[in-house]
Amino acid sequence: MRVPYSGYLSANKRGLRRLVRLLVREYAYASLLATDCAGRRYEVRRDQVSVQDSRWNERGCVARVHDGAGYLEASFNRPTRPEELLRLLAGAAAGGGGPRVDYPVHREQPLRRRWQAQVALLPASVSVEEKLRRLTELRDRAFALSPLLVDVRLVYEEVTVCKLFLSGLRELEQAYHWSQGYLIPVVRRAEDTRYVYEFFSGLKGVELLEEMDGRLEQAVALAGELLSAGRVIPGPHEVILSPEVAGLLAHEAFGHGVEMDMFVKGRARAAAFLGLPVASELVTLHDGARAASQVGSYWFDDEGTLGGDTLIVERGTMRAGISDLLSALKLGTPPTGHGRRESFERKAYARMANTFFAGGQDRLEDMIASIPRGYLLEKYSSGMEDPRNWGLQGIVLYGREIADGRLTGRLVSPVIMTGYVPDVLGSVSAAAVEVQLTGTGMCGKGHKEYVKNSMGGPYLKCRLRLG
């Protein structure tokens, strides 16, 4: 099923074109981004059923112009006359907020195109009642599986994204749909309470509910196992990272640290390593909207730059960062299609899209057999990085103990992993073939400016300090 393009954007396109033509006459560069994003979030728990608008819903426009000194922006979400928009932009120029940054005028290539994605089941093809019924059935099945279960959280969210970008030389339109789901059983024995999760995401429609159905029994059983989990032995260990924990490493090791607006501000140590070895030759790292198909995918970014595939690390050597348009103009590099806004009311920043390690040639069973004593780490809880000093920290939900090249069946939980990025990536000694990505979270710039992205990789063998 083809994702339908926004009727709101289509109905207003002629008027928005007129605004852009006026701005082009007044300014050295002018563009306009119009967005129409709509979705719902469904949640079912033991004693709760709810349907809410998605936090990603938005409808409005942002204009950007170059006034000879730098770039100005003004956002609006109602019909706006040309003279009113000019007053908004003049107010932005006079509004202060610190010194203006001098940027060159953007010279873009002409392009006119519309992209519309496809999914198996569009949200409108399945009723709200049917979606809730399927989630409720999953809840009831979960409670029938284990007497230890005290709650289960089932979340399904669906969002359709439509955007229109107009400038003097470009008219770009895109319509795509992403969905995500959470399956989180909570178990209790005496005073000990544990949980586990299964996350689902992709450029998919209501078919995502089928994936959730297929992993219910596995999740409930694993939650019960965690009630018997022990403690990790603190210290340095040989470990194998599952694809999603490898994704956490990719995100925290080379995420914000290679966003090139941080290069401009002198806040990223990675800038000093361009062209230098930073990892084992087994490490290749990608980030790009078109590098993979996940929730971080799009056809063009919020500045009208086409999405692509940026090779950040190639066989251990750092090759590039990821940039928005303004940081690229300041640094004299091509923009990589990573200029993203939380909404039309917020600034565009260099932001990750799909961040992942490339696959290798190893088999998971051989990687396990090569470890005398260590852990297979699965399912991350959270992560944190220090772009200036290149340190990283992550919390993993559990690890599977490896002894004498075999999984012992013993679990440890939770696990904190820490390290210095070049040391950790320099220790990578094996990478499996298959790459998997997940994208159920969101990423902030500092403590705000959230966007959707995904991360992943293959199973990776490396050394980390655990606690």
3-state SS record for 424-466: HHHCCCEEECCCEEECCCCEEECCEEEECCEEEECCEEEEEEE
Listed in sequence order, the residues at least 6 apart from 270 whose beta carbon sits closer than 8 Å to its beta carbon are 254, 257, 258, 263, 278, 318, 321, 387, 390
- The predicted pLDDT at position 386 comes to 64
pLDDT in tens, 113-127: 999 999 999 999 999
- The predicted pLDDT at position 96 comes to 59
In angstroms, the CA 280 to CA 358 distance is: 13
Q: In this structure, what token pair is assigned to residue 268? A: 């990223």
391 pLDDT above the threshold of 80: no
Which whole number is the average pLDDT over 276-304? 97
Name the pLDDT band for 256 (thresholds 50, 70, 90). Answer: confident
224 pLDDT above the threshold of 90: yes
- Taken as a whole, the chain contains a residue count of 467
In angstroms, the CA 26 to CA 65 distance is: 9
| Residue from 268, 456, 257, 447 nearest 354 by CA | 456
Q: In this structure, what token pair is assigned to residue 210? A: 């089928």
Listed in sequence order, the residues at least 6 apart from 39 whose beta carbon sits closer than 8 Å to its beta carbon are 53, 54, 56, 57, 123, 157, 158, 159, 160
Provide the residue ranges of all domains of the chain, joining segments of one domain with +: 7-226, 235-466
In angstroms, the CA 437 to CA 454 distance is: 6
**DSSP characters over 144-186:** HH-TTEEEEEEEEEEEEEEEEEEESSEEEEEEEEEEEEEEEEE
Long-range Cβ contacts of 308-311 (<8 Å, 24+ apart): 308/336, 308/337, 310/286, 310/336, 310/338, 311/284, 311/285, 311/286
Which whole number is the average pLDDT over 440-462? 91
Q: 460 burial class (0-12, 13-18, 19+ CB within 10 angstroms)?
A: buried
The C-alpha torsion from 420 through 423 and 424 to 430, rounded to 10°, is 170
**DSSP characters over 25-45:** HHSSEEEEEEEEEEEEEEEEE
Burial 360-382 (b: 16+ CB within 10 A, else e): bebebeebbebbeebbbbbbbee
Which whole number is the average pLDDT over 444-455? 88
Full strand arrangement of the beta sheet holding 454-457: 317-318, 310-314, 285-287, 354-357, 454-457, 436-438
- The predicted pLDDT at position 456 comes to 97
The answer to whether the CB of 225 falls within 8 A of the CB of 448 is no
Superfamily of domain 7-226: PmbA/TldD superfamily (3.30.2290.10)
Q: In this structure, what token pair is assigned to residue 359? A: 């696959």
Least confident segment among 12-26, 88-102, 183-197: 88-102
- The predicted pLDDT at position 373 comes to 97
Listed in sequence order, the residues at least 6 apart from 43 whose beta carbon sits closer than 8 Å to its beta carbon are 49, 50, 51, 52, 135, 153, 154, 155, 156
pLDDT above 70 covers a percentage of the chain that reads 98
Q: In this structure, what token pair is assigned to residue 50? A: 């709810």
Q: In this structure, what token pair is assigned to residue 312? A: 């950040």
Listed in sequence order, the residues at least 6 apart from 72 whose beta carbon sits closer than 8 Å to its beta carbon are 64, 65, 66, 89, 92, 93
In angstroms, the CA 366 to CA 430 distance is: 9
Q: What one-letter code names the amino acid at 128?
A: V
pLDDT above 90 covers a percentage of the chain that reads 82
Distances (CA, A) of 445 to 250, 289, 347: 16, 18, 11
- The predicted pLDDT at position 205 comes to 97
Distances (CA, A) of 24 to 32, 74, 89, 169, 204: 11, 15, 13, 10, 38
- For strands 235-241 and 373-386, give the pairing: parallel
In angstroms, the CA 299 to CA 319 distance is: 23
In angstroms, the CA 252 to CA 392 distance is: 6
Look over the chain and give the mean of its residue pLDDT values, rounded to a whole number. Answer: 93
